[in-house]
A = this chain, B = another copy of it.
Amino acid sequence: MQAEIISIGTELTTGAKLDTNSQWLSLELAEIGISVIAHTTIADDLDEMVATLRTAAERSEIVLITGGLGPTLDDLTREAMAKFGNVPLVQHEPSLEHVKAMFAKRNRPMPERNLIQAMFPEGSEPLPNPRGTAPGIWMPYQRQDGEISHVAAMPGVPSEMKQMFRQQVLPRLDGSGQVIRRARINLFGVGESQAEEILGDLTARGRDPDVGITVHEATITLRITAMASSVDECRAKIEKTRETILNRMGTLVFGVEDEELEHALVRLLRLRRASLSTAESGTGGLLAHRLTGVAGFETCYMGGVVVPTNTAKRELVSVDPMLIRQYGAISQEVALAIAKGCRQRFGTNFALAVTEWPEFDPDDPLGQVPASFVALAGPNVAKVEKVQHFGDPAIAKSRTAKVAMNLLRLQLIEG
């Protein structure tokens, strides 16, 4: 069984927007052993859409479309599917109710144009969209060779598309015999080439299961991919590789799958029944934002301050201006003073602090590598770490926030 994916939208063919839906859908289909032979992106043009649909449905059993289901005049997926299937568009009462309800819920009048979102090609099935006004479409297609292909049209908005795919489309697909399973292990505290050295033979080409390395904002992710005839077999293969990796990597590993350092940190804090507060200068609230993004953070994260100015540092975390004058705002001493003042202000077990850092140009080969300091204050502990900002300044904030969280993570594990 093979599939292909069609993305609709002039904003895509002109380059105004990047299509990420096709990649995501390809990965999802691979999970159930359906291989994708092509992605096609076309403009909002009815004839082109019908021709592309025909080519796709004639050669592939599954055709997934994203985009073109909105209420505006250039949203033509509905019309294209009707023309391609040679059937009229008919109104679907429950969908009309849904669209009306969505507008009622938002207390807004429903524009006339939105009526079109309750129209479907005759013989097709509407796919509910709990997150938006545009329902999807599931439609069978009789091929020249007598076989039946299926076309699913979904919204272009990634969050709506993903939910509709998982809830409505996936259950309608039969996969192939082979299954693929993936697992991810996340590390912090080493560089990519160092990680590769430690892993050694594990990353060799052709190894089964395959182990790949990617880096995102200083977090290293190891991706294990196993293919086998059953899910259990995949899992067993992955488990063995995972154990080897954990043995070699030790406390560099902080989590799996989508887990970020903040999830690991909140988990550890809750386990230790410890509380945390933060005081940030250079990261400007990012640390607080990351921590408050974790479900259940309220039980251990008590709050934070963003203190870019000396006045704010004095008023909110009691840092003596003389100390800043003596050592400079970017110093070990000031980092520790901020952490201690923050801990006292919030009355928490631990506090993390981040100083500011100088502006820098990564393309200046003679420029000094700028640095900032992160500090941890706690019962019987006061630690500072220097963070050097080489590389992309765009990730300096994220990397610094991670160094701070990792400092406390290691303290909670080892300290």
Binding site for B on A (CB under 8 A): 10-20, 22-27, 30, 35-43, 45, 48, 52, 55, 71-74, 101, 105-106, 108, 111, 113-114, 130-132, 159, 163, 182, 191, 193-194, 196-197, 203-205, 212-214, 223, 225, 278, 280, 283-289, 291-293, 297-298, 301-309, 311-312, 315-316, 345-347, 362-363, 365, 369, 388, 390-392, 394
- Minimal Cβ-Cβ distance residue in B for A110: B193
Q: What DSSP secondary structure best describes chain A's contact surface?
A: mixed
List of B residues within 8 angstroms of A305 by Cβ? 303-306, 316
CA distance A19 to B5 in the complex (A): 14
Least Cβ–Cβ distance between A73 and chain B, in angstroms: 6
What is the distance, in angstroms, from A326's C-beta to the closest C-beta of chain B? 21
Could you say how many copies of this chain the assembly holds?
2
* Closest partner residue, chain B, to A3 (CB atom): B13
* CB-based contact B212/A11 at 8 Å: yes
- Closest B-chain residue to A72, C-beta based? B196
Residues of B within 8 A of A26 (CB): 13-15
The reply to whether B35 and A38 contact each other, CB–CB distance below 8 Å, is no
Kindly list chain B residues whose C-beta atoms are within 8 Å of the C-beta of A306: 278, 285, 288, 292, 303-306
- Tell me, rounded to whole Å, the shortest Cβ–Cβ distance linking A257 to chain B: 13
**Residue from B13, B132, B214, B309 in contact with A11 in the complex, judged by beta carbons closer than 8 Å:** B214
A280 contacts which chain B residues (CB < 8 A)? 288
A223 CB contacts on chain B under 8 angstroms = 11, 16
Is A131 within 8 A of B36, CB to CB? Answer: no
Q: Is the CB of B11 within 8 A of A15?
A: no
Knowing A39-B40, A303-B316, say if A308 contacts B285 (CB, 8 Å).
Answer: no
20 intermolecular pairs with C-beta atoms under 8 Å apart: A14-B36, A15-B36, A16-B27, A17-B214, A19-B39, A38-B43, A55-B55, A73-B204, A111-B196, A131-B363, A159-B394, A163-B363, A278-B306, A284-B288, A285-B285, A288-B306, A298-B308, A305-B305, A311-B347, A316-B345
Verify A308–B312 contact, CB threshold 8 A: no
Q: CA A337 – CA B241 in complex, angstroms?
A: 55
Additional 14 contacts, C-beta under 8 A, given A16-B212, A17-B23, A131-B392: A13-B38, A14-B225, A15-B27, A16-B27, A72-B213, A101-B365, A108-B191, A113-B193, A159-B394, A285-B292, A297-B308, A301-B308, A303-B309, A315-B346
Contact B38 A48 (CB under 8 A): yes
- Bound Cα distance from A43 to B30, whole angstroms: 14
A311 to chain B, nearest CB (A): 7
Is the Cβ of A302 less than 8 Å from the Cβ of B309? yes
Most chain B beta carbons < 10 A, residue from A15, A23, A283, A307: A15
CA distance A163 to B391 in the complex (A): 13
| A291-B288 Cα distance, complex, nearest whole Å | 14
CB–CB A302/B312 < 8 A: yes
Q: Which residues of B contact A225 (CB under 8 A)?
A: 14
Question: Nearest chain-B residue to A363 (Cβ)?
Answer: B130
